[in-house]
C-alpha cells in the first residue's frame, strides 16, 4: 500500500482506484449500461459492464474490466507509434489473457502526477484529467516475468462510443480486437 496520502488522508493508491471507478461510472451513466462489482477481488476483475436487450444473440452482454489508474510519470508516450507504453504486472496481465466466459479488457486511466489536478470543478462543469484507454489482450501468451509491457494505441480512448462498440461486438459473438479507434 502506498504511503503517499491525499489531502483528505486516504492513501493515494485508494484514491486512484476511486478515480478509475468514477470514469467507468460516468461512461455507464452516459450509455445506460449497468455494472456489477465482485464482493472480493480475487479474479483480477474490478467491474463488469452489462448491456441489456442489444440487437444480437443475447439478452444480456457482459464485458469484464480490470481498472488501473496511473500517474502520467508511470507511462511512456511513444509518439512515433502513437501508443502508450505501460509495464503491467504479470499477475494482472495473465488474468487478462486467459479465456473466460466474457471478454476481459484493461482500462488504464492516466492522471496528472499532482493529485490536486486530477479534476477541475467550476460553476458549469466538472472535468476529469487526463484520459482512459482500453486494451484487449485475449489470446496473448502468458508471461512469467515480473511485468509485461503493453502498448495501447492513443486512438483507443475509452469513450461511450468505444464501450458500446465493444458491447455490440460481444453481443454478436464477434471477438473483440484492438480497433485503433475505428468504431
Q: What residue segments make up the domains of the chain, in order of their start?
A: 12-171
pLDDT of 105 reads: 98
For position 14, what pLDDT does the model report?
A: 87
What average pLDDT does the chain have?
A: 92
Average pLDDT over residues 174-178: 92
| 139 Cβ contact partners less than 8 Å away, ≥ 6 residues apart | 97, 99
Stated pTM of the model: 0.91
Q: What average pLDDT does the segment 50-66 reach? A: 94
| Whole-number pLDDT of residue 181 | 78
Q: What is the mean pLDDT of residues 33-56?
A: 90
Q: Tell which wins on pLDDT, 153 or 182.
A: 153
Q: Summarize the confidence of residues 41-58 as an average pLDDT.
A: 90
CATH for 12-171, options being 1.10.3470, 3.90.226, 3.30.40, 3.40.1350? 3.40.1350
- What pLDDT, on the 0 to 100 scale, is given for residue 11? 80
Label residue 2 by pLDDT band (50, 70, 90). low
More confident residue, 142 or 10: 142
Please check the confidence at residue 1 and state whether its pLDDT lies above 60: no
CA distances from 152 to 33, 70, 76, 78, 156 (A): 24, 14, 11, 10, 7
- pLDDT score of 146: 93
Reply yes or no on whether the pLDDT at 26 is more than 60.
yes
Gap between the Cα atoms of 112 and 171, Å rounded? 35
Q: Which three three-digit cell numbers place residue 103?
A: 471478454
Edge-to-edge, what's the strand order for the sheet holding 147-153? 76-78, 83-89, 147-153
Residue that wins the pLDDT comparison between 106 and 129? 106
User: 60: pLDDT confidence band, cut at 50, 70 and 90?
Assistant: very high
Amino acid at each position: 500500500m502506498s504511503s503517499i496520502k491525499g489531502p483528505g488522508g486516504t492513501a493515494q493508491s485508494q484514491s486512484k482506484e476511486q478515480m478509475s471507478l468514477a470514469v467507468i461510472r460516468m461512461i455507464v451513466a452516459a450509455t445506460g449500461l449497468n455494472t456489477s462489482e465482485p464482493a472480493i477481488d480475487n479474479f483480477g476483475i474490478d467491474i463488469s459492464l452489462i448491456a441489456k436487450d442489444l440487437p444480437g444473440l443475447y439478452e444480456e452482454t457482459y464485458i469484464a474490466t480490470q481498472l488501473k489508474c496511473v500517474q502520467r510519470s508511470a507511462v511512456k508516450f511513444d509518439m512515433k507509434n502513437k501508443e502508450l507504453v505501460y509495464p503491467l504486472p504479470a499477475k494482472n496481465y495473465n488474468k487478462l489473457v486467459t479465456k473466460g466466459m466474457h471478454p476481459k479488457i484493461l482500462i488504464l486511466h492516466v492522471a496528472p502526477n499532482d493529485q490536486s489536478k486530477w479534476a477541475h470543478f467550476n460553476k458549469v462543469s466538472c472535468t476529469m484529467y487526463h484520459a482512459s484507454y482500453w486494451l484487449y489482450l485475449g489470446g496473448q501468451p502468458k508471461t512469467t516475468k515480473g511485468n509485461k509491457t503493453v502498448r495501447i494505441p492513443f486512438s483507443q480512448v475509452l469513450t461511450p462510443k468505444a464501450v458500446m462498440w465493444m458491447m455490440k461486438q460481444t453481443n454478436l459473438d464477434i471477438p473483440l480486437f484492438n480497433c485503433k479507434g475505428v468504431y
